[in-house]
Chain A
Amino acid sequence: MKNQKIFILSGLIPALLLVLAFTYYPFLRGIIMAFQDYKLFDLRHVRFVGFDNFKAAFHDPKFLVALKNSGYWVFFSLIFQFVLGLSLALLLKKPFRGRGIFQGFAFYSWALSGFLIGMIWKWMFNSQIGVINDLLLRVGIIHERIGFLSNPKWAMTSVIIANVWYGIAFFAIMLLAALQSVPSELYEAADMDGATGIRKLWNVTLPYILPTIIATTLLRAIWIFNDPTIIYGLTNGGPAGSTHILSSLMLDKIIYAGDYGAASAIGVIMIVLLLLYTIFFLTVTKAEKVGDF
């Protein structure tokens, strides 16, 4: 028995070391850096500064804007990605000719890198040479070019639109898989009871796939919150810092200021926020998950 234990333990060592070296060590190091004056320009004078980085963050108007933007960014991206993704999944549920090809086209956005999506939409949104303005002008919906990325009133909406486009496919893929697992007996029973389409969706389909919905929205919200790539590629936080979210601001501190201390402080704040969110989300959804079914 003892040998067995040693065997199991030694078998676990490589995996354990990998996780320690590449997940927990950087994680801890990041937390330590948040309390340090750690600037790339001067690595010879790294020292502990207590909560200075956190204080500086909360006194920075850019941080407060980014905090608010993160809220909008996650909320609106998630709602639209989910609703449109679910609609797409429902449309794709019934077999039709060419469904496979159609699925491929509908899902391909998920295979692109966020940065690339930022670049693509940057050109489409361009007000002088972009295709969106051109189309809207030709169709006659607008009469003046709109600065989607240069007008602070539009910029946040524009980056969210790009993000929604990106994320629909994820929900469609996950929810389609869940939809296909709903037993047809349930629908037959619902038919016998005389349920209509909407009613079947509300009382049979959605409750059945609720666990998937909870898991995917929880995950997706965290991803959206953490992912700066689309914003980085699309607006780089501009104009005048109006489209920064916390993760893009963190990146900004690293790339342009080389200030790993300030960036790590933002990172730690993000972890705390995500932790609170997860606890809240899981507590709220737990009761329902068991209850309805």
Chain B
Amino acid sequence: MIHLDRGKINMTRRKKYSALLLCGALSAGLLAGCGSNNDSSAGDNGAGDEQVTLRMIESLTSPKRTELLQASIDKFETANPNIKVELISPPFDQADNKIRTMLGAKEDLDVVEVRDLTVAEFVNNGFIEPLNDYADKWSDYSTVSAISKSLGSVGDKLYFVPNGLYERQLFYRADWFKEKGLNPPATWDELYETAKKLTDPSKNRYGFSFRGGAGSNGTTDAMVLAYNGDNVNLEDSMFTKDGKTIFSTPEAKASMELYLKLYKDASPPDSVNWGFQEQVQAFTSGVTGMLLQDPDVIQSLQEKMAEGTWATAPLQAGPTGKALLAAGGAGWGMAANSEHKEEAWKLISFLSSPAENTEFSKAYGLIPIHTSAAEDEFFKTGPYKTLLDMSNAPDKFVNFKPPFEYPGTGQWGQVEMESGQALLLGQASLDDTLKKWDEYWTDQKSKLGK
């Protein structure tokens, strides 16, 4: 009995020690996890035969896009056996926050997907590296379109090489237009008149796929810009050439009066709170006759709608005959604290090469960044043709630089949406609304110290 008891005691003691050990190990592991991992892999930034692992993160994630990217990366790895690429694909909704957090915590990242909406913030916080020195030595850089370069730059420095451009155009129901003998509208005024003719609430049919919810500033900004026309400072597009905001002019008021009419007379009443999905869904399900969208919807229109029922037309112009057009998008940038900058640039320039970029753009529905891609038959026909037509008429479709360098550019969508909804619902007057927008951008300018 005594023996047994002693055995028992021994057991408990041993258990106790192993438990203690386990606890210690756990705590140590926890502490290590909290610490930074900056010091790892410090000495291996020389190229050569040494194995290098690049960490790359994407922002505009979707399953299809990740697959396309991975395919490109596989090709890159085959061509560069000493470089391995680890692709991180956070879900789209959280991607930018994840990227911010990782960059802020100085985690190992080499290639980062930077968006037009985030570039100013990343530059401001010193998260990403200017690419000019690399790009100057890059043979394919000469064919990168001016608009792509402008998109990826802040000031005179290039911070990312875009991986494709988004540009707005009009999608319309060709069958409805034919039925009523209508032509695609060339101006905003015509768009309103056409939309009104297509509207028949008793049949639950409306002319325009209005978007009053998230992203509504896409429409209001486009209209105000088109109406201000030549007076807009193209490099600082929320302002006119004499330094006032574009919302302070009589032209702005005229454009917004039309905007209100467009909603009241020719759009579904529910659309005051519609975002991207509802807007596109209403068009594909036959509730609305016209939709203003980027080329990335082309694939879902092709899937959901019968061929011949829809077609595309260029973006609408203002009373002076000019439409102001901007390209949006994202691209590949380099983390400022990357340990493998040469290899990172190798990957960026590979992904951005004419061959890779054109293939990616075709597969995902984007405008390629190289001017040479315009020779491709794919972009000369079908729904992409209008985009090419627009870039071939730069006098009528004038490119402007969106105000991405302002800190408030991310919040502008939300500010515009809420005050715009109040305007549409009759809770605020047009003058007060425009004054609010004018004040917002005046304030932005003073904060930027321009």
Contacts and interface: CB of A to CB of B under 8 A. Distances in A.
Contact of A150 (B100, B272, B422): B272
Interface in B242-283: 268-275, 278, 281-282
A107 to B, nearest CB: 27
A102 B213 CA distance: 38
Contacts of A240: 418-419, 421-422, 425, 427
A238 B273 contact: yes
A126 B280 CA distance: 13
Contacts of A238: 213, 272-273, 417-418, 421
Max chain B Cβ within 10 angstroms of own Cβ: one of A14, A127, A147, A152: A14
A152 B204 CA distance: 22
Q: Which of B31, B287, B418 has the most CB of A within 10 A?
A: B418
Contacts of B419: 240
A236 B19 contact: no
A18 B214 CA distance: 38
Contacts of B269: 127, 145, 147, 150
A128 to B, nearest CB: 5
Nearest to A14: B26
Given A11-B19, A11-B23, A150-B273, A239 B421 contact: yes
A256 B422 CA distance: 19
Nearest to A137: B204
Interface residues of B, number: 48
Contacts of A18: 30
Contacts of A105: none
Interface string A17-43: 110010000000000000000011111
Interface stretch (B136-144, B173-181, B309-317, B408-416): B408-416
B34 interface: yes
B287 A236 contact: no
Query: Could you say which of A41, A147, A155, A258 has the most chain B C-beta atoms within 10 Å of its C-beta?
Result: A41
A252 B415 CA distance: 11
A17 B30 contact: yes
B34 A21 contact: yes
Contacts of B427: 152, 240
B425 A239 contact: yes
B27 A128 contact: no
Contacts of B100: 40
Interface string B346-385: 0000000000000000000000000000000000000000
B7 interface: no
A129 interface: yes
B125 interface: yes
A148 to B, nearest CB: 8
A257 interface: yes
Contact of B125 (A43, A149, A152, A256): A43
Nearest to B270: A127
A211 interface: no
B273 A10 contact: no
A241 B126 contact: no
A12 B26 CA distance: 11
A44 interface: yes
B414 A150 contact: no
B34 to A, nearest CB: 6
Given A256-B410, A257-B410, A44 B30 contact: no
A241 B272 contact: no
Interface in A205-245: 235-236, 238-241
Contacts of B51: none
B125 A42 contact: yes
Nearest to A41: B407
A11 B26 CA distance: 10
Contact of A241 (B206, B271, B278, B418): B418
Nearest to A62: B418
Interface in A39-64: 39-44, 62
B212 A14 contact: no
A126 B268 CA distance: 10
Contact of B270 (A7, A10, A126, A256): A126
Nearest to B269: A147
A-B pairs, 5 with minimum CB distance: A127-B270, A240-B421, A256-B414, A240-B422, A41-B407
11 contacts: A10-B20, A14-B23, A41-B120, A42-B124, A62-B418, A145-B270, A147-B269, A147-B270, A150-B273, A240-B427, A256-B413
Interface of A: 7, 10-11, 13-14, 17-18, 21, 39-44, 62, 122, 126-129, 145, 147, 149-150, 152, 155, 235-236, 238-241, 252, 256-258
Given A14-B26, A150-B269, 14 more contacts: A7-B20, A10-B23, A17-B31, A41-B120, A129-B285, A129-B287, A147-B272, A149-B273, A152-B425, A236-B214, A239-B273, A256-B411, A257-B410, A257-B411
